[in-house]
Amino acid sequence: MAYRVLALDGGGIRGPRIFADDTVFDLLGHVDRLVIADYRNKALHEALTEQFGAAPTYFPTWQGYIDGGVAANNPSVCGLAQALDPATGGQRLEDVVLLSLGTGASPRRIEGDDHDWGLAEWAPNLVGIMLDGVAGVADFQCRQILGPRYHRVDVVLPRAVGMDEHRAIPELDALGESADTAPAVAWLAEHFARSEDEPAA
């Protein structure tokens, strides 16, 4: 029987949220029991929106916490670790399937070859570089460990979009609507959908 893990990029109260069957974990191992299939739960949506949006320098903190993406911008490996940890998941590696949902891969890069920069020159670029790099490493690690039992959905953006660039929302919506979801749907059907005779967790 597969143990399904859904890792969502972005933040949370204490870090990105890891959804595993009917349990929600944060990066410190705290557990919230809830049924995440209730997509009509407005209070849950509002809480997640606040938790996922407290990015430093962009938005205010939320109840004293900041966006967990500064620690794990792509929490896939965290989700895998939570699934394998006896205290939070206790699963065998061969039973874990993991779906990772990104928020758009940025094509950001720094032009030029030689940069003898100090803090003032690096500071505007450093956060984006570190967040993108960490997300890519987690994706690579999960692909190596889980093979076909891992899938990541993360549309490549046509340009770098700032986190506070609200005027880009229509552009991002259109990009999401036009994205080819066929590979993800096929993977979900094969690895994530619960069979009729498989009991719910």
Model confidence pLDDT, tens digit, residues 36-55:
334 455 665 566 666 666 77
Write down the pLDDT at residue 144: 97
For residues 121-148, average pLDDT:
84
Range of the domain at 100: 3-192
Give a yes or no: residue 198 inside a domain.
no
pLDDT bin (cut points 50, 70, 90) of residue 23 is very low
| 119-146 and 76-84 helices, crossing angle to 10° | 40
How far is residue 35's CA from residue 74's CA, in Å, rounded to a whole number? 23
Is residue 177 in a domain? Answer: yes
Q: How many domains does the chain have?
A: 1
- Is residue 68 within 8 A of residue 56, CB to CB? The reply is no
Q: Is position 201 within any domain?
A: no
Which residues is 4 bridged to in the sheet? 97
